[in-house]
Structure 1
Amino acid sequence: MIKHIRNKIVAVVAAGIMIASLSACGSKNTSTLSDGVTEVSVMDRDTDGVVEEYKKTVENSEYIMHALGGMDGKSYINSIDCLRKTYEAGYRLFEADVSYTSDDVLVLAHSGQDNIWSEADWNDRIGIAYPFRDMNGNELTEESKDYFTSNGYDFDNHTCNYDSFMTFRIQGEYTATSFSDIVQFMKEHDDMYLMVDAGNRSYESTQKLYKMILDTCKNDYSVLDRIIAGGQTTDMMQAVKDTYDFPLLNMYYAGDDVREESIYSPEQFINYCNENGIISFSTAKETYNDYNGAALKEAGLISYVFTVNDSDEAALMKSYGADVIGTDFLW
């Protein structure tokens, strides 16, 4: 009897320790949304060590692999085939396009506004003929629409379902990749970091995607702490922050013609980043120059400049202050 009581006490204490540990990892309460996505509330925790390890990786990295890296002269592949090759070559920073299928499963696929897969996304990036028009570019017949709809194709967002996507050979050659494939790779390789490119989204669409990321990661902070999370607008950044306390926050520094008025100048952008715990920014090479590069560098923000495939141009971006160059082929 005494042994039985002692074992019960040990079990209760162990359970208490486990609960405390989970809380310290960032997860406090969970609930299931109507679409099956797990909503997670988070608690503050000490992430200084996480950020320091990340900064060490940045300091030792010249490049981040755009869309997991190009191969055979092709870009925007977003395939685990590329990830394996570039990781084996010694790279540890990766960027990938993340969106969701018509049945709400995260995959690596480029998207436009609010998760719409454009004609270019289909034809050029996925490498599958755009299925929402016929070969002559005309609207599909009702019979054809019914066929595609019954097979999981969404005519509003121009997406397909997960099962269809995973049968594709990306650009005719490469393995179609789910976000869960990347999570598994990250669990097996605990020194890689993934920057999520979610495209341009509303607050609601951004939060949906990041809640799906949490669900796919099963709230595993050892993976979540190596996801460089963020967005292109202040609404997107707020959605990310409202979803989970990602320690590695990144914001896109948009071009002059589309950057929000509240963060238009480098000084305004820097203030916003400082106030919101954002430690890095990404930007296009066409936007980055010696003026904004110097100001953003002085502020201590980590800089990622995309997409550069010429070594001389990479050197020029570095001279402006870029920390890491986003590339397809300079590896």
Structure 2
Amino acid sequence: MIRGLFLRPPSENSKEVGATEIRGAGSAGAESSRADGLPTKVPSSGHIVYEGNGASSQHYSTEFEARGIRGFHSSSGSGARTHIALQPVDERNGSKLIINGFAHKRARLLGFYARHKIDDTWIWLTEDFSWQEGAAGRAKLLVQPDQDVSEIGSVTGSNIVLEAQWLYPNGESANCGSLMFTNKLMAHALGGLNEASYHNTLAAFEHSLEAGHTYFEVDLSYTADERLVVSSPRIRTGDHNKPEKISDMAYERVMSLTSHGEPIMDARDLYELLSEHPQYCFEIDFHFVVGENAKKRIKSLLEDFNHDDETLSRLLIQVHTPEMHRDIDSVYRFEHYQYLVGMKMDRLNEAITYSLDVGICALALRWSLATASVVEQIKAAGLYILSYTAEYDPSLADALLRSGIDTVCTDHVTPRMLMGAEGRMGQKQFFVFYHSGDKDAVSRYSVDSDQLRLLRVKSGALEIRDSEFWINDGTQRLLPQQFTLQRRQFAGWKMRMKIDGKTHWYCSDGTFRTKKEALAAPPTERHLFHDQDIVPVISTVEGAKVVMVAQWVPTKRFARILEKWLPKRQ
């Protein structure tokens, strides 16, 4: 990671790439704009860097001129750096005071959060005047205009970034991204309809609108003849056909198809939809594209949206990698970006650092991976969090929001359902069932009392169902194991539970994950409980069914027989 500030040159009166970016008198060490349109590099030390972070405008040229400061300023960036200014801190400048040259149409400035970079890691100034990575659980210091730069630190080794903090009159944040992330829910693919997901249709949008949604996700795909259509990358072309790639079909062919029986829209239809509903915001998912493929899509989007900056300002563009962000941003500087972490949790630190470097305002990740420590780390960096996808369960969506996540992507949860589910998931009582793990297992459990009931489940295995509530306080122990299986010995229990209609397994890191999510980077294993182990506190709904599944391994004698007679694999 290069420790410097990069600003790309846009065209005049537009956010599209053109000729000049930085305005104002030069500063020692700064490079001039390049004719080939490549980024202009600003020195990585010796400056205060002001980020507008949602500001409506900036007037640093007036502020700098009045104080005799030879600084830079620009209103042609993207993300939190749409408006930006650089103030050199040296003997040639007449003032070393912190300056506010930003303005906001509807919010007031609270101050600035200060951060600077050491060894590719951002650290923040806290209220005890120490610099801490991720604020280390300490409150960040709000730096005020007219404070002396020397009061917050030195710019000798690196720039100090001052990130503006804005507040609406109703007490909500007005920072970059607040337009989207003041919405608790986002309707996935314009929302589910008739129990189906991945609609991306006008009918789904109208249904979501009627249900009270105000923030929508939409997929855009490119046809073989380079037209943008509102669809996931693959679509079924018949009731029994496998999904086909949009990129393999011509525009006319795609537009002749339907999504769940509803007509498919193109990007121009989407623009008309946004124009008719100027109060709503949309996340755009191009899925993973880079290079010329990404640039072509953005050029098509601009054409289909009539280069309408106001409508484009209500879009949040999801990017998967730094390369994808750079390619998209080289064509048009969107005001809102979101970095998809997904299941690549080993890249979380990289995603946070890059987002702060370039002004991306949010990260997106699977809800099951949004642990308390992950949420704390992202929020400490001043970024918003979107988690996906809570399909049907409003209690899950409510629990995610209460954990610190800003917005939950959902197919079928509505604002009204969310309101009715408040507090339903948490440290609630549940039932424990004991599953034999094999259809040939034999039960030795005593089922004479009303507490235990023995059933043979659909798989053929046995299941002991305990009718007493589990207190869920982290003190209760599992019942003694009473299943037997010929030539096998009991190895332990693995815990599973249905969450949002899917089977999730309790893992060694304390999360519940599906089989696929357990393979996330870095991967984790399903936790093995021993006989009569204490079960930790879990977050669930009242009366949930927690199933302990018996795990079996060959007895030592049988293992020796298997080793002797089974052919060894090379």
Report the TM-score when normalising by structure 1.
Answer: 0.70
Moved more, 180-189 or 56-65: 56-65
* Structure 1 residue matching 2:236: 3-state secondary structure: helix
Taking the aligned partners of 1:49 and 1:185, their CA distance within structure 2 comes to 27
Cα deviation code 1:221-271 (max 9, x no counterpart): 011111111311111111111111101111101313xx6x7xx243x3222
Take 1:246 and 1:70, find their aligned partners in 2: how far apart are those partners?
A: 27
* AA in 1 matched with 2:13: A
Q: Indicate conservation of the 8 Å contact 2:221/2:247, yes or no.
A: no
- Alpha-carbon deviation of 1:89? 3.2
RCO comparison, higher one (Cα < 8 Å, 6+): 1
Question: Which letter does structure 2 place at the counterpart of 1:306?
Answer: Y
- In structure 1, the residue corresponding to 2:329 is in which secondary structure? helix
Unaligned runs of 5+ in 2: 1-10, 20-36, 39-73, 84-102, 106-165, 167-173, 415-570
| Residue number among 238, 241, 247 corresponding to 1:129 in the alignment | 241
The question of whether the paired residues in 1 share the 8 Å contact of 2:228 and 2:266 is answered with yes
Partner of 1:298: 380
**Greater per-residue strand proportion:** 2
> What is the 5 A alignment of 1:126-275?
129-130=241-242, 159-171=248-260, 173-256=261-344, 264-266=347-349, 268-275=350-357
String of CA shifts for 1:191-244, please: whole Å, max 9, x gaps.
111111111223332222122111211211011111111311111111111111
CA distance in 1, matches of 2:333, 2:243: 38
Mapped partners of 1:88, 1:308: distance in 2: 20
Determine the C-alpha separation between the residues in 1 that align with 2:299 and 2:283.
Answer: 16
One-letter amino acid of the structure 2 residue matched with residue 328 of structure 1: D
Instruction: Give the corresponding residue for 2:227.
Output: 105
Q: Tell me if structure 1 keeps the 8 A contact 2:222–2:247.
A: no
Amino acid at match of 1:90: G
Specify the code of the residue in structure 2 equivalent to 1:326.
C
Contact 1:289 1:317 in 2 (8 A): no
Cα contact 2:384–2:406 (8 A) shared by 1: yes
Name the Cα RMSD after superposition.
3.0
TM-score computed with the length of structure 2 as normaliser: 0.42
Matched, 1:311 2:394: yes
Shift of 1:27: 4.2
Aligned mates of 2:252, 2:75 — CA distance in 1: 36
The residue aligned with 1:9 is none
Tell me the residue number matched to 1:284: 366
1:49-64 to 2 correspondence within 5 Å?
Answer: 52=174, 55-58=177-180, 60-64=182-186
Instruction: Tell me the secondary structure at the aligned position of residue 197 of structure 2.
Output: coil
Q: Tell me how far apart the structure 1 counterparts of residues 242 and 356 of structure 2 sit (CA, whole Å).
A: 42
Q: What secondary structure is seen at the aligned counterpart in 1 of 2:368?
A: coil
Letter in structure 2 aligned against 1:61:
N
Query: Could you tell me which amino acid in structure 1 is paired with residue 291 of structure 2?
Result: Y
Measure the CA separation in 2 of the matches of 1:61 and 1:180: 25
Structure with greater proportional helix content: 1
Paired residue for 1:327?
410
Secondary structure, in 3 states, of the residue corresponding to 1:243?
coil
Q: 1:24 aligns with which of 4, 13, 24?
A: 13
Aligned residues: 261
The residue number in structure 1 matching 2:207 is: 85
Q: Does the Cα contact within 8 Å between 2:187 and 2:409 map onto a contact in 1?
A: yes
| Distance in 2 (alpha carbons) for counterparts of 1:84 and 1:265 | 36
Write the deviation string for residues 141-179 of structure 1: whole angstroms up to 9, x where unpaired. Answer: xxxxxxxxxxxxx8xx752222222222212x2121111
- Kindly provide the amino acid, as one letter, of the partner of residue 129 in structure 1: N
